[in-house]
């Protein structure tokens, strides 16, 4: 006697009935990159299909996203002027604050998350204030300006704040700052387990945020560490994070499952720039069936335990879901 697993694979109807993981448009967050100016829509060479856009174009994009069924976006600002502390991010009329107000005015139902970090705003490209003696980011000094940045985003209309800089104590610090300023109900999604990854390469082209010296290994995590990966997310849950995250995604499916099994908080994954570009390049070269590999990758994230998928593929996935 042996088990005939194939009985439940006979045709599409039964395969659909027993399918365990399901992908829907509700799972997705679409990242957007904002530049100053007007009528700007500049494709990024290393990320075909991803653009830097001016605010007017971002508003048009949000209207299109809403029609397609994408309900949530993540904003990244690329200011014209960068300095040592990322002043644009601390200004009430900086690029993100202006974008938030413009989207909320024109597309009020779009759910807007903001990436909270300084690497796109500093001239040195690091995620916070540099401690010149140690040639690294000063954790506690950066916490202070992160609080200011969060309040600016909150006042401008952000629906959720997403700190991505891997500073210790950031969640408890932001929670206190938000609560004190009247934003008790504003949720925080923590980039809680974020690895120092070479998969971020193309993002640094689009966000113009490559560090001018050194790398991020003194604050982002070592890809070799599993116990620490779980501890990072659990600590952020304790500090009050509403949603946890693993980033990157594809090379870290084991970590996604480990953290999913260790928490009752919703779990997001960030399907990062390098993962996107690899699929695009392979698809354009004709060496893979692009759509099938794409959908197989997305369902793998769900199966691993992702509740939310942040992905540059979000629009393509919606189009494929509509076809089927
Ligand atoms: C900023 C930030 C990065 C990404 C998201 N937020 C870059 C980095 O840490 O270097 C990467 C996203 C991607 O590669 O798509 N801290
Ligand atoms: Zn950063």
Structure tokens at 273: 């720039």
d(CA 114, CA 125): 18
Q: Report yes or no on 271 lying in a domain.
A: yes
* 194 catalytically annotated: yes
* Ligand 2 centroid distance, CA of 165 (Å): 5
User: What does the pLDDT read at residue 103?
Assistant: 98
CA distances to 4, 157, 160 from 11, in Å: 15, 48, 43
User: What does the pLDDT read at residue 209?
Assistant: 84
Model confidence, pTM: 0.97
Q: Report yes or no on 11 lying in a domain.
A: no
Q: Which ligand is nearest to the CA of 115?
A: 1
Q: Report yes or no on 252 lying in a domain.
A: yes
Domain count of the fold of the chain:
1
Q: Report yes or no on 18 lying in a domain.
A: no
* Ligand 2 centroid distance, CA of 126 (Å): 6
| Ligand 1 within 6 A of CB of 200 | yes
Q: Which ligand is nearest to the CA of 44?
A: 1
Q: Report yes or no on 8 lying in a domain.
A: no
Q: Report yes or no on 2 lying in a domain.
A: no
> Which structural domain range is residue 201 located in?
23-323
* 247 catalytically annotated: yes
Q: Mind listing the pLDDT tens digit of every residue in the chain (324 residues)?
A: 999 999 999 999 999 999 999 999 999 999 999 999 999 999 999 999 999 999 999 999 999 999 999 999 999 999 999 999 999 999 999 999 999 999 999 999 999 999 999 999 999 999 999 988 777 899 999 999 999 999 999 999 999 999 999 999 999 999 999 999 999 999 999 999 999 999 999 998 888 888 888 889 999 999 999 999 999 999 999 999 999 999 999 999 999 999 999 999 999 999 999 999 999 999 999 999 999 999 999 999 999 999 999 999 999 999 999 998
User: What does the pLDDT read at residue 6?
Assistant: 97
Atom number, ligand 1, closest to the C-alpha of residue 220: 9
Q: What CATH number did the domain enclosing 309 receive?
A: 3.20.20.70
The runs of H, that is alpha helices, within the chain are 12-17, 55-68, 95-106, 139-156, 170-180, 201-206, 227-239, 253-260, 273-284, 290-304, 314-323
What are the counts of helices (DSSP H) followed by strands (DSSP E) for the chain?
11, 12
Q: What is the helix, strand, coil percentage profile of the chain, to 5?
A: 45, 20, 35
Q: Report yes or no on 3 lying in a domain.
A: no
Q: Report yes or no on 12 lying in a domain.
A: no
- Which of 136, 268, 105, 274 lies closest to 215 in space, CA to CA? 136
């Amino acid at each position: 006697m042996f088990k005939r697993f194939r009985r439940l694979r006979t045709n599409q109807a039964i395969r659909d009935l027993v399918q365990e993981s399901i992908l829907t448009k509700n799972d997705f967050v679409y990242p957007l990159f904002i530049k100053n100016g007007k009528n700007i829509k500049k494709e990024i060479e290393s990320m075909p299909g991803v653009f830097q856009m001016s605010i007017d174009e971002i508003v048009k994009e949000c209207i299109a996203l809403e029609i397609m069924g994408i309900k949530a976006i993540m904003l990244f600002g690329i200011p014209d002027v960068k300095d040592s502390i990322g002043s644009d991010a601390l200004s009430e009329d900086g690029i993100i604050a202006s974008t938030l107000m413009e989207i909320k005015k024109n597309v009020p139902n779009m759910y807007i998350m903001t990436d909270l970090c300084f690497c796109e705003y500093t001239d040195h490209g690091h995620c916070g204030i540099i401690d010149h003696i140690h040639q690294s980011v000063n954790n506690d000094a950066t916490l202070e300006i992160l609080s200011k940045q969060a309040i600016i985003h909150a006042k401008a209309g952000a629906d959720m704040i997403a700190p991505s800089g891997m500073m210790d104590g950031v969640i408890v610090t932001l929670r206190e700052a938000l609560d004190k300023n009247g934003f008790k109900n504003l949720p925080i999604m923590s980039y809680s387990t974020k690895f120092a990854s070479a998969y971020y390469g193309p993002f640094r082209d689009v966000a113009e945020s490559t560090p001018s010296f050194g790398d991020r290994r003194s604050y982002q995590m070592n890809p070799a560490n599993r116990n620490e990966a779980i501890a990072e997310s659990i600590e952020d849950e304790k500090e009050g994070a509403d949603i946890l995250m693993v980033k990157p995604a594809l090379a870290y499916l084991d970590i996604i499952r480990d953290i999913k099994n260790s928490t009752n908080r919703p779990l997001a994954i960030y399907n990062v720039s390098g993962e996107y570009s690899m699929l695009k390049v392979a698809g354009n070269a004709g060496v893979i069936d692009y759509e099938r590999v794409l959908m197989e990758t997305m369902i793998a994230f769900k199966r691993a335990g992702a509740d939310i998928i942040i992905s540059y593929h979000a629009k393509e996935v919606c189009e494929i879901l509509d076809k089927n």
